[in-house]
Amino acid sequence: MQAIGPAGFYNVPVTKFLVLFVGTCSILSAILNLKMYFHLQLTPHLTIHHQFWRLLTSHIAFGNSGDVFFGSILLYTLRVIERQYGSAKYMAFVCISILTSTLLELGALIFGEDFGLKRLPGGPYALIFSALYQYHRIIPVTYRFRIFGITMNDKLFLYILAFQLALSQSFQTLIPAICGLLSGALYRTDIGNIKRWRFPLIFQKLTIRFIKPFLVSPPIARSSATTPSQRPIVTGLSPVDNIMTGGLRNRRSTNTTSSSSASETPAPTTEGGAPSVRVSV
């Protein structure tokens, strides 16, 4: 998968909040047996019982562990959108996407009732696919490769995960995914200057002061070993390396012994004790 920017949740507090919040709500709903409160159904929940709070809760918890796993991976990978937009704009984008996709899901339930669409499962499917549309439009391709003559790029792996999530519960999860893509496309059109909308400044200041300190993550430390003395020493050598190292050591010891023997051999002398000197003509 594509890796743009530093790893971890460094400088992406909104994404960190989404991953932790959605994961925690999904786990608690399964442990406490509260999954029935997180799906969206037109009849009887909205039309008879007027449980309009389901319009919000239908986006905060997945219904099964498989969707929790793949949804968390997608939310984490799509943190590059927050780095591109900034936390203030990304938080506004999240709220706009949830609002517009909820209206689209209501329309799908109204017009799809005759085709057997009775309910939509809980989970931030629409938000994930709305962010995925932004990823498709603004994040460039890093590399391309060919498989059986077909040219592909590094975004393919993320699209495969998203496709699996969209079809995890067949038709019921495909509708929120499509609504999310439409919501993302609507945001890109900038109709009504929605891309310029932000939360009020006083709300941003309160969030930065009281909530952001709990969501700040330091950058992951990287190795600073750049010189040979700072690099780790390899203690184990392969048999070939042992042979080469032993041969070089033996050659050096042989050369050292020969030079020392030559230096210790005395020069020939004459009968009077003076060294002899050869003169070549």
CA distance 2 to 155: 6
pLDDT of residue 216: 85
φ, ψ dihedrals at 169, nearest 5°: -125, 35
pLDDT of residue 73: 95
* CA dist list (Å): 164 to 66, 130, 169, 171: 10, 16, 9, 12
Q: Say how many residues make up the chain.
A: 281
> Which tokens go with 250?
């033996």
CA distance 244 to 259: 23
CA distance 23 to 185: 27
What letter does residue 5 receive in the DSSP assignment?
S
> Which tokens go with 146?
């060919």
Supply the Cα-derived Rg of the chain in whole angstroms.
34
Place of tokens 């040979």: 228
> Which tokens go with 276?
């002899």
pLDDT of residue 240: 45
φ, ψ dihedrals at 124, nearest 5°: -80, 50
* pLDDT beneath 50: ranges in the chain: 228, 231, 234-235, 237-241, 243, 248, 262-263, 265, 267, 270, 272, 275-281
Side-chain half-sphere of 263: how many Cα atoms within 13 Å? 6
pLDDT of residue 198: 93
